[in-house]
Structure 1
């Protein structure tokens, strides 16, 4: 075989090899599938009914006021903790107060309307306003709501009793005074986990 023929055969063999290699590179089986995924965040929605617990005039030492209120979780997530912040201000009618009116208002958190004598936690407004919200949750809401808190789309009734403590001594400095109490309820979710 001549050199021209050998070179020609080499070029044809190389071209055939390239054709097979390039043809093999693009020939394959395939399959595909598309998934549609959705991520939606849950909601915490804590409400308190009624929003005004007490409006009382002419309170005197020894008086007590008992009120029911309802904590509602209208959200889609369970509430693990209810944190209560207490703030109050006193308007001194005569300008003669030497003491804090909040120290003379005792607060009793009670289990429910049927067991008004069973106290969960007792303190004064002055002490309650200085408590950390986590401590209030441990002392009041864990005993009242349980370790699991307030489940989604449920409500729980709570009872609070306010007592104007009769100290057994003259308390004239508080005559005509008024106290404005503000409670702020904050909800925290349960811990996240595998879904």
Structure 2
């Protein structure tokens, strides 16, 4: 055998030995486990019952109407704040209005059905329409719902009194008119935290 052949066999033997030593170094016991995880978002579901709070006719100055309604949290998340947006449309029967009918309809948000004399907040529909939803929450819903808001599965009874204010002046321009009121209630979740 030539020297080249002996060197070649030596290198091959060394390479096989290193491979065996290296392979043995990486041998170890192993085990594995798998977990199954889920992230599911909750729901906000604010409902108002009844959906028509007021539908009354033949009002005259000095008349008032008391109605109650429920705010229900049918979702899985707590509601921290409720915002109310007010809009209305005047149907001017004779086309002679020089004033906004909404300025003559006073709204009193009352505490609850058992305490009709305790007024939370009083304003006119015209003023309520101009208020920001945050201001409405501060003056109307925060005193009612409190710091905890409306918890999941809970409901709160609210009472509202509508007064057609008799201002002692000529209000003939409103005869036969109608005011179509639209209230939109918006819910905001409670602040997130550790689960």
Q: Deviations over 1:28-67 (max 9, x none)?
A: 1111110100111100000000000111111000111000
SS of residue in 1 equivalent to 2:17: helix
The answer as to 2:100 corresponding to 1:109 is no
Give the C-alpha shift of residue 19 in structure 1: 3.5
Q: Kindly indicate whether residue 123 of structure 2 is the aligned counterpart of residue 123 of structure 1.
A: yes
Counterpart in the other structure of 1:91: 91
Alignment of structure 1 residues 27-66 onto 2, 5 Å: 27-66=27-66
Give the secondary structure class of the aligned counterpart of 2:140: helix
SS of 1:173 mapped into structure 2: helix
Report the TM-score when normalising by structure 1: 0.93
Aligned partner of residue 141 in structure 2, secondary structure = helix
Structure 1 vs Structure 2 CA RMSD: 1.9
Shift of 1:120: 0.4
Distance in 2 separating the partners of 1:147 and 1:5? 90
User: How many equivalent residue pairs?
Assistant: 194
User: Which whole-Å CA distance do the structure 1 matches of 2:169 and 2:70 have between them?
Assistant: 36
Q: Which runs of 4+ in 1 moved over 4 A?
A: 3-10
Q: What is the aligned partner in structure 1 of residue 190 from structure 2?
A: 190
Quote how far apart the aligned CAs of 1:79 are.
0.4
Separation in structure 2 between the aligned mates of residue 97 and residue 174 of structure 1, nearest angstrom: 7
What is the alpha-carbon distance in structure 2 between the residues aligned to residue 45 and residue 166 of structure 1?
39
- 2:139 equivalent to 1:139: yes
